[in-house]
Amino acid sequence: MNKKLILLLLLISSPLFSQYNGKKYSIGFNALYTTTSKIFLFPNSSDEIIRNKSNDIDKIFNYGLEFRYRFSDDIIFTLNAEYLKTSQAGINITGFVGGTTVAIKAEDGFELIPIELSIFYELPFSTDDFKFLMGGGGGVYFGNHLRKIGSVEVNNVSREIEYGIQVALSMQYLIKENISVQLGLKFRDPDFRLTSQYNSPSVQIGSDIVTFPQDKFDSRINVDGVTFTLGVFYDF
């Protein structure tokens, strides 16, 4: 075998990484902020205007865990899981009182569990204290539609499992030998459809009994905002 190839394989597979004192693994906690998301109320409408009508929920905070494996000095594999839950009050939902159509206020939102596997490359201008990473990968996204009107809530009857890709940039600062903090920027676009059902066909609002137009309804949720991350990691 070519001597240069053997040397390259030894460098890649070596368990000792001078920049990280031989530490190959990291585990960390991330706080995340996503700029915006959309809940489409009539995703199956034949009218484009109605189909694209959405309730926007902005400024979403959530948290997650991340595990890293340093394959070589330059290549890092990561697996992260998050939990995101958000809602917004004051959303208008159509109902009926007798034969009259009325608008009632609801709290509308969603929860999302992203699980993402990524590969990162350490950029060559990184230093011993500051590491600059660029990478991306694939993710699977599990979501639920959340809605509450008075005492009535919804249950998800069926939902899609969304698959997608994401890209990210980050800067890592080594505080101590095995502790670091990281700032990051992530671009992704989870988009999934659900069918939900009210747990009651009607709700009492004041002195009125408001009936819902249908007990089941379809919705589409798109988390299309930029995600900023701040994390603390322990290397071992």
pLDDT, tens only, 108-165: 999 999 999 999 999 999 998 999 999 999 999 999 999 999 999 999 999 888 999 9
Q: What's the rounded mean pLDDT across residues 84-111?
A: 91
Helix (H, G, I), strand (E, B) or coil at 157: strand
Displacement of CA 86 from its chain's centroid (Å): 11
Closest CA to 58 of 100, 31, 88: 88
CATH number at residue 119: 2.40.160.20
- Is the residue at 12 inside a domain? no
Q: In angstroms, rounded to a whole number, what is the distance separating the alpha carbons of residues 59 and 36?
A: 6
Q: In angstroms, rounded to a whole number, what is the distance separating the alpha carbons of residues 6 and 40?
A: 56
pLDDT at site 31: 98
Q: Could you tell me the CA-to-CA distances from 3 to 9, 51, 92, 165 in Å, in that order? A: 10, 62, 71, 38
- Is the residue at 98 inside a domain? no
pLDDT at site 22: 67
Q: What's the rounded mean pLDDT across residues 60-65?
A: 97
- Is the residue at 172 inside a domain? yes
User: Is the pTM of the predicted complex or chain greater than 0.75?
Assistant: yes
Structural domain of residue 172, as residue ranges? 18-91+108-147+159-194+222-235
Q: Domain total for the chain?
A: 1
Q: Is the pLDDT of residue 17 over 60?
A: no
